[in-house]
Structure 1
Amino acid sequence: MSHYHTGVPAAPPWSASMSMQASIVLDQPGNISFTNLDEISGRVVVRCSKSVDISTIVVKLEGESRTRLMSSPGPDGERSKPQLEYHKILYRVQMVFPPADVLEGRSRTASGKGSYTLPPGTHEYPWRFKLPFNNACHSQKSMIATSPLATLGLEAPKVATRHVHKTLPPTLSGFPGEAEIRYFVKATVGRHSFFKENPRTYTPFNFFPIEPPRSPPTGSQVYARQKHAFAPFQDAPVKEKMKSIFGKKPSEPAPLAGDAPFISVDARLPEPAVLTCNQDIPLTILLKRLNASSDPIYLQSLQVSLIASTKIRAHDVFRTEQNSWIIMSQSNMGILVGSTADTEGTEVAINEGLWRGKALPNTVAPSFESCNIARSYSLDVRIGLSYSGSSQAGKLSKASMQRSAQNVVLPLRLETQVYSGIAPPAEVIQRMAEARANGKQPLSEPGPAAAASSAMDEKLRTEGRKSSTAGPSSSAPHSPINPEAPQIPARPGRPVPQQPQEEYGDAPPSYEDAIASDVAPVDAPRPDYAPPPTGEDQTFKQDEKKGWVDFREL
């Protein structure tokens, strides 16, 4: 669903008066998402049915990160209260009318008019903005003061105290009334009369950030591993079964059919573990025999899913929401893994064609962290295996084998990052390297943001709301890229790779707008990004003057 207006839209009721309507038309087509360094441009279209007096026409490029969570009940039976947190992560202003020369001439004239008369008809005023790299929230003074709405019993956000200086986050929706990141262009036509409404209009657009610089490939892999030992079957020959039918018990229990398979299963990703939006998953699944048993093992089911954990914060209230995308899922496969000639130590790769060609959906946003919302990912692999024993394979019917088969589903989970696939311009990377060489640090340093994120994790863990990994905690393997888990080498004796944090500081790094102020927009194909359409929740859809107060506009 596109968020762009391809023509002059009908002005909404709240933005129009009987004699004048305002709308915004974008110059860019509606099938792209904007990214850092892009120029977004368009026109403000003002239609007048009769002559009207106006003072200014102002266009704003804005981005907002909003959250709303309910607090816990108080100790004395106090009711839960909504906590609202609001951050203006992007704010650029351009006055398109009157022109600069006219405005300057008016200021020099003591008797200059305070308004201008627009004749009947349609009037267009062009505007243009360049999208920056970083959010602007850290540099903005608090826009939310003690709102008079609170005294009227209406919800109003409190002053936010935590700000993150990072690359602008992507457009995010799908959490109606709880969390939202949105970008839009807004135009306001200022009327000279205090008693006449100022027509307003806005046009939302999707934003998809440039990815951070990638660490060079190490040639190694990170992985999650599960081990499983099948139980041996009892070898019950036909003669012994016949004796038991006539009441003759065998003199001794039936012997075991031999060692049952003892295996390990790995899910591996290239190091560093990064997935790319709209691209295939570079996953490898290996099955290794850990004992001398060569009995056949069958792949019965396989499911690969991407799990998103969205941490939402509204002041002192935290919540983690989970979403999942099934990349592929098959069952009743009955595929022989390896062969009966496999010996101890044999490693067999599962056919990659089962998940190759199945790219990440275009609703997946890249990993990010903003002042009050953060998104992280993990890859969940569930592999179902079946074992029927070697001696029974030739003596029992297929139906009997299926009834007696041992089936197990092994969950494997790998922490990973998701990048947008929009590579930063080479010129920006070069300037960042030059800044570091000259003793300047254009990248964000670890500081309050990382500490606050750790505090959020600890609070969620204490309250029991920290998301668990796949499967029981006793069997779920540690992820090798989890900083809290031990680092497990993918291959014995592999070289220790250079960690991205050593090269980039607080990963993912934040670009400095000064470095890229005169760099041209990215001229390369970019992934399609289509977040879920924004709901009509009135908490987030109302104008700032009707609930979310921006005191710079009052």
Structure 2
Amino acid sequence: MSFSSNSVRIELDAGQNDTFTSLDIIKGRVCFSIPSEETISSIQVKLEGISRTVLVVPKNNEVKKRQKDKNATKNSIEMHRVLYQVSTVFPPKDIRNVNTSQKYTLKSGNYEYPFQFRIPVNSSCSNSSGSSYQPSGGMFESFSFTNGSLGYVRDAKNHINTSLPPSFSGLGELASVRYFLKVTVRRSSMLKINFRNYQPFIFLPIDPPVDNSGKVAFVRREKSIAYKGSRNNNSNRIDANRNNNGDSGGLFKSFFKSKPSATSNSIPLRSNVQFLFEVRYPLGIGLVPLEVLPLGLFVSFKKQPQSNDIIYLRELNFTLFATTIAASHQYSERSVVSLNFFNRTQLNIPLNMKAAAPTPVDPTTHLPTWELPINPSVYHDAILPNTVAPSFKTCNIAQVYTLQITGKFSMENGPLEEVSLSTDVQIWSGIRPSEGLLRAALPARPNMNTADMATAGFSKPGAIGSEKPPPKPVRPSNGKNANGMSNEGSALPTYDEAITNSLGPIEGPRRTYQQSDNYYTNLDSFEDGRD
């Protein structure tokens, strides 16, 4: 048994990044202060990453009957150790090899022990040892207190092979991935409690290789927009003061003037304009928080416009929908959070239809189109905040995203028309892989198959988006674990660890990646009895 103590702490060396990634070396020291003589057996430092889900589920019928509560619930907890390394900083290895008593007496004073770890690329959860929670028999080791409730932590059975997931928080106890260093001072007496303390840190994975194929994905939607306009057709205009022979007609005929034609300039007409609102982005490139989005917006027409009419972009809105699928044993839960990160009103951006330029043949209709690009300066400030986690998939958590872009258009005197585009997107860390790491990359597997996309309610790139809300998730049966998670890996590639062991840290800047306050607290709830 252990408890957090101020007697021991971890201090990281200065000059290191605030955000760590794979292949980084974490260096620091253990600071141990004791006011009096103390006998200990060892001091260990552990580098850990825990993927944890807590789902509130109904209790079984027998429990409900005993408790006489039809609505009785319990916490279903699943924990996976995606990162696990151990270093014994005291006693030194040469002393451990000759001392069989495993008891060492330290005098009162301050002690420091250096340590360092190298963060791997791949998750260790697919390994048979040290991967998931495995109770070791202690009375309290199989239980976890969560939200004031006691839950039993069972051994997780389902594991996937993938790269390390990012730090993840913000959904309370439902789903989280935390990384931390833990120091434990083991005291030799069974009657004394061990000293322990934590040092959490933030982790971002390395991005997958960039697809340099030049392929472009697009999503478009057709819209009909009404307006009041006039037709400019001089051949049909009738002069009220002249007859067909060019005579004025005299006084008598002036009483029988011909009425202006329905096509005259002087009478406004109601009409509709058909146009397409479209977003394009490079295929195989993710969106990075704090960076300009790599996409373009267009208004296009299936037929060449013949008028000088102007369509106005009045409003533009970007919303990111983050979908978290949390699994705990046979249960799963889906959480959707929306983030409106760009909203501009009263834009009044004119788009002259006559200026639409012809484009190559459309790959879907095999017909030419005419398009007007929307100036990128209009949405240059559409930047994702640093709280957005990269897309990832681990044994019990999957994080996927859809981007919705909504434009509101009108003619000069017409009503406002809204059109929305939705497409699934990848969010990246912004940490590019080195050339050496690219050579170590193993073949990547698709992040989601078609069935997964349908379950998540996302449209595939290149398809017309749907305005319907995403369907309620159903429990997959084919090719899935019992908890509903796919046995396939994520889109992030795995790497040959034998090659990565010879590579140095990734050079270049690291973006800030903000976590919620609970990321840094209550790390005791991630304990599994191993100390």
TM-score of the aligned structures, taking structure 2 as reference length: 0.76
Where does 1:145-544 land on structure 2 (aligned, <5 Å)? 145=135, 148=139, 154-218=150-214, 220-231=215-226, 233=228, 257=269, 259-291=271-303, 292=305, 294=307, 295-339=309-353, 345-388=369-412, 401=413, 405-432=414-441, 442-443=442-443, 461=455, 466-467=456-457, 476=466, 507-534=491-518, 541-543=523-525
- Report if aligned partners of 2:410, 2:416 keep a CA contact under 8 Å in 1: yes
**Percent of matched pairs sharing the same residue:** 29
Residue 507 of structure 1: how far off its partner (Å): 3.0
How far did 1:525 drift?
A: 1.6
**For the residues of structure 1 that align with 2:494 and 2:382, how far apart are their CA atoms?**
31
The alignment status of 1:34 with 2:23, answered yes or no, reads no
**Structure 1 residues 204 and 376 mapped into 2: Cα distance closer, same or farther (>3 Å)?**
same
Which amino acid in the other structure matches residue 186 of structure 2? G
| SS class of match (1:307) | strand
Quick one: which amino acid aligns to residue 412 of structure 1?
L
Q: What is the aligned partner in structure 1 of residue 72 from structure 2?
A: 79
Distance in structure 1 (CA, Å) of the matches to 2:37 and 2:513:
43
Partners of 2:426 and 2:326 in 1: how far apart? 18
* Maintained 8 Å contact 2:20/2:204: yes
State the AA in 1 paired with 2:97: E
Match of 1:15 among 4, 18, 42: 4
Q: 1:71 deviation in Å?
A: 2.1
Matches for 1:83-162 after TM superposition, within 5 Å:
83-107=76-100, 113-141=101-129, 142-145=132-135, 148=139, 154-162=150-158
Aligned residue for 2:333, secondary structure, equals strand
Q: 1:549, 1:33 → 2: CA distance?
A: 26
Which amino acid is 2:198 matched to?
Y
CA pair 73-340 structure 1, distance change in 2 beyond 3 A:
farther
CA distance in 1, matches of 2:325, 2:85: 28
1:450–1:264 CA distance, 2 compared to 1 (3 A): closer
Matched residue type, 1:226? R
Conserved 8 A contact 1:261-1:289: no
Whole-angstrom distance in 2 between the partners of 1:330 and 1:370: 36
Q: How far 1:260 sits from its partner (Å)? A: 2.2
Gaps of 5+ in 2: 65-69, 232-258, 359-368, 469-487
Whose radius of gyration is greater, 1 or 2?
A: 2
Contact 1:364 1:531 (8 Å CA) reproduced: no
Amino acid at match of 2:528: V
3-state secondary structure, aligned to 2:19: coil
| Whole-Å separation in 2 of the counterparts to 1:73 and 1:234 | 66
SS in 2 for 1:529: coil
Specify whether residues 28 and 516 from structure 1 end up closer, same or farther in structure 2 by C-alpha distance, changes over 3 A only: farther
Q: 1:159 to 1:173 in 2, by over 3 A?
A: same
Q: 1:299 is aligned with what amino acid?
A: L
1:293 Cα shift? 5.7
Question: Match of 2:361?
Answer: none
Name the SS of the counterpart of 2:343 in structure 1: strand
Say if 1:406 and 1:380 are closer, same or farther in 2 by CA, change over 3 A: same
Following superposition, the deviation at residue 505 of structure 1 comes to 9.2
Matched, 1:48 2:28: no
Q: Which digits, 9 at most, give the CA deviation of each residue in 1:120-145, with x for residues without a partner?
A: 11100111100011111111445334
Greater strand content:
2
SS at match of 2:94: helix
Q: TM-score, normalised by structure 1?
A: 0.73
Question: Relative to 1, partners in 2 of residues 1:31 and 1:509: Cα closer, same or farther, differing over 3 Å?
Answer: closer
Change in 2 beyond 3 A, CA 1:509/1:143:
same
SS at match of 2:157: coil
CA displacement, residues 44-81 of structure 1 (integer Å, 9 cap, x when unaligned): 11101111111100110000000011225768846333
Tell me the SS of whatever aligns to 2:99.
helix
Provide the aligned length of Structure 1 versus Structure 2: 452
CA shift, 1:386, in A, is 0.9
Q: Deviations over 1:452-481 (max 9, x none)?
A: x957x77xx5xxxx55779xx997279xxx
> How far apart, CA to CA, are the structure 1 residues paired with 2:150 and 2:318?
45
RMSD: 3.6
- 1:244 is aligned to none
**Pair 321,469 (structure 1): closer, same or farther in 2 beyond 3 Å:** farther
Secondary structure of the residue aligned to 2:73 is: coil
